[in-house]
Amino acid sequence: MAITPADASRRTREICNLAPIVPVLVVNDAAHARDLATALIAGGLPALEVTLRTPAALDAIREMAKVPNGYVGAGTLVTPEDVIAAKEAGASFGVSPGATDALLEACEREGLPLLPGAATASEAMRLLERGYDMLKFFPAEASGGAPALKAIGAPLPQITFCPTGGVSPTNASDYLSLDNVLCAGGSWVAPDSLIQAGAWDEITALAKAASQLAGR
């Protein structure tokens, strides 16, 4: 069922509002997917982004989509084919590093709510013109960090962002304190070393700490 840009932004905003941090996950083995999702959700982070950067990513999304109380999204959407595959795997939302007309049209046609990426005021304005007002600011640190995002927010207060890329426990609060930031994406809550070790309690602990982050 198709979705409008306004409805897409409304839905992604609802998902982004669930917790201050959205885990950005690189899953190399789908066998870990359910336990990983369960650990993160137990820690208070129900919105999960699985990046399409590994052969296991789509299978991981399929497994995570079966875990109760979670919202599994597909990250690194670049092509219409990515969108179709993500939707078929059970993703409830999508995330992209940028935005093209073909990608936006595919998400709208497939009914997949999208958090599209923007790094400049012009990119953000183009998306706003189309109807998207909940965006990903990427790559956050490389694009000037919290000061740059604050500056963009001054003339574009109607846009809300989820900064991703270089966000860490040491700077997350700098982003979360901004009026135009709803949440931030971070990979530190699920490092590969802990995933490979099956250290689910440690991942839950990291998630709990991240779920309590707030703006300074």
Its domain, for residue 197, covers 5-211
Place of tokens 């359910």: 34
Residue 138 lies in a domain: yes
Alpha helices in the chain (DSSP H): 5-16, 33-42, 57-64, 80-89, 101-110, 121-130, 145-153, 172-176, 192-197, 200-211
Note the pLDDT tens digit of each residue in 1-55: 899 999 999 999 999 999 999 999 999 999 999 999 999 999 999 999 999 999 9
Helix (H, G, I), strand (E, B) or coil at 80: helix
- pTM of the entire predicted model: 0.97
CATH number at residue 95: 3.20.20.70
**In the chain, what percentage of residues exceed pLDDT 70?**
99
- Contact (Cβ atoms closer than 8 angstroms) between residue 162 and residue 19: no
Residue 216 lies in a domain: no
Q: Domains in the chain: how many in total?
A: 1
Which of 14, 136, 141, 208 is labelled catalytic? 136
For residue 216, pLDDT beyond 90: no
Which of 49, 63, 108, 110 is labelled catalytic? 49
Please state, in angstroms and as integers, the Cα–Cα distance from residue 186 to each residue in 106, 137, 165, 189, following that order.
26, 12, 7, 7
Q: How many residues does the chain have?
A: 216
Return mean pLDDT, the chain. 97
Q: Is 150 designated active site?
A: no
Please state, in angstroms and as integers, the Cα–Cα distance from residue 141 to each residue in 18, 97, 157, following that order.
23, 14, 20
Q: Is 136 designated active site?
A: yes
Note the pLDDT tens digit of each residue in 137-179: 999 999 999 999 999 999 999 999 999 999 999 999 999 999 9
Note the pLDDT tens digit of each residue in 183-210: 999 999 999 999 999 999 999 999 999 9
Q: What is the DSSP letter of 19?
A: -
